A and B are shown apart, each in its own frame.
Chain A
Amino acid sequence: MIQNFLTALRLGIIGYLFLVGLLFAFFGFVKLLLRIFTKTKG
């Protein structure tokens, strides 16, 4: 049980940080996307 918990703890931290990083990347990506298309349009 403790072994499972430690594994879950490790996977949980890695998974959550990966997810936050991924969506942070999307945040930057969308800003870039909008900048490109708004400029193109303007």
Chain B
Amino acid sequence: MLTELFSGIASLTLGNVVMILIGLVLIYLAIAKKYEPALLLPIGFGTILVNIPLSSALDQLLQGVLHRGVLSIFFDIGIATEIFPLLIFIAVGAMIDFTPLLENPVMFLFGAAAQFGIFGTMMIATLLGFDLKESASVGIIGAADGPTSIYVASRFAKHMLGPISVAAYSYMSLVPIIQPPVIRALTTKKERSIRMQPKAQKIPRIAKIVFPISVTIVASILAPNSTALIGFLMFGNLLRECGVLDNLSKSAQNELANLVTILLGLTIASTMTADKFLRPQTLVILGLGLIAFIFDTAAGVLFAKFLNLFLKRKLNPMLGAAGISAFPMSARVIHKMGLQEDPMNFLLMYAAGANTAGQIGSVLAGGILISLVGGMVR
């Protein structure tokens, strides 16, 4: 009788203790440092839940009978089916205003260039012993876009979902620390001071409505595996821009976003068990994630400098770095750096344009990876 009562304590392992401490660290980072608190807090708390010995939050096989745990059920219905990240995309789409991008369509190019980290990191990961699908899942951290990372990893490497999610969301919140030194290393003060020419172009409402519909159709035809990702993102944006569904748009931005974020965070934590997380591989994934963000930033800046070779009116190369999808963090960082060099240099709207292009770019990159790698490894 007593043995059963104290079975939790008796089953406690060093791995459990370490993971509970990691959960506490994540909660600390979320509350004290405000690092992506909406995700890191549920992940941290969930990590504690699933590392309690014999936790009923996870599936347990007791005397030959399977007792289903709530987080395992959430995982099966929300992550394995890819529903949670897709629902988040509706919310993200409803939150994004593509006007700055439509005002400066050239920013689309930065949204593509700054996805280099995904592909570059995938190549490096293969050299470190990861197979192709795992490498693609690690590389997608460079999308700087949590739902896309989860979407691709849940398809290719479910066993690595925990560290990939933690890396993706942690580095997104560390963009203000990661990007500035890379940008400074690749640009001169003169380049960082380049002012952008303001445009007086007003975007007609019809263009804002046609944009999400046409992007969905074109992108889906060219990269069919990105249909769900780009479709849900653009559906959310259409709710926002159509002008007749304000209630749905607000619900997507608030209730849907909040509810799915809670479920997503807790569910991701179900993969944060000691046996899956406490591996040398986790440290490698975290390291590669950082490399992916650095590659993204560098590629965006270098691409902007390359474009400047052909342009009469030069672009501020820092805008290239905003092409990563960490929205709106990256745009703010670039704007702040512009102001540091020249207090009258306002880059926010341009950076926001590049940033939203990065959102589209990262989603498409996810679809392209799924097509290419999925087609290669069956």
Chain A residues with CB under 8 Å of chain B are 1, 4-5, 7-9, 11-16, 18-20, 22-27, 29-31, 33-34, 37-38, 40-41
Q: Which residues of B contact A13 (CB under 8 A)?
A: 119
Residues A5 and B126 in contact, CB atoms below 8 Å apart: yes
Contact among A14, A24, A41 with B204 in the assembled complex (CB-CB below 8 Å) = A41
Q: Which residues of A contact B201 (CB under 8 A)?
A: 34, 38
Measured between alpha carbons, how far is A22 from B109 in the docked complex, in Å? 9
The residue in chain B whose Cβ has the minimal distance to the Cβ of A28 is: B105
Q: Which residues of B contact A4 (CB under 8 A)?
A: 126, 130-132, 135
- B360 interface hit (Cβ, 8 Å): yes
Stretch in contact with the other chain, from B21-29, B36-44, B78-86, B110-118: B110-118
Residues A38 and B365 in contact, CB atoms below 8 Å apart: no
Query: From DSSP, what is the main secondary structure of chain B's interface residues?
Result: helix
Residues B112 and A20 in contact, CB atoms below 8 Å apart: yes
A to B contact number (C-beta, < 8 Å): 104
A20 to chain B, nearest CB (A): 4
A41 to chain B, nearest CB (A): 5
Residues B364 and A23 in contact, CB atoms below 8 Å apart: yes
Q: Which residues of B contact A34 (CB under 8 A)?
A: 102, 105, 201, 203, 207
Residues B112 and A33 in contact, CB atoms below 8 Å apart: no
The residue in chain B whose Cβ has the minimal distance to the Cβ of A42 is: B204
- Identify which of residues 171-224 in chain B touch chain A, using a CB-to-CB cut-off of 8 Å: 201, 203-204, 206-207, 210-211, 214-215, 218-219, 222-223
- B14 interface hit (Cβ, 8 Å): no
Residues A19 and B115 in contact, CB atoms below 8 Å apart: yes
Chain B residues with CB under 8 Å of chain A are 101-102, 105-106, 108-109, 111-113, 115-116, 119-120, 122-123, 125-127, 129-132, 135, 201, 203-204, 206-207, 210-211, 214-215, 218-219, 222-223, 357, 360-361, 364-365, 368-369, 372-373, 376
New contact pairs (20) apart from A22-B219, A30-B108, A37-B204, CB-CB < 8 Å? A9-B123, A11-B119, A12-B120, A14-B372, A15-B368, A15-B372, A18-B368, A19-B112, A19-B364, A22-B223, A23-B109, A23-B111, A23-B361, A26-B105, A26-B108, A26-B360, A27-B108, A30-B101, A31-B105, A33-B214
The residue in chain B whose Cβ has the minimal distance to the Cβ of A41 is: B204
Given contacts A8-B135, A12-B119, A20-B112, contact A33 B211 (CB under 8 A): yes
The residue in chain B whose Cβ has the minimal distance to the Cβ of A16 is: B119
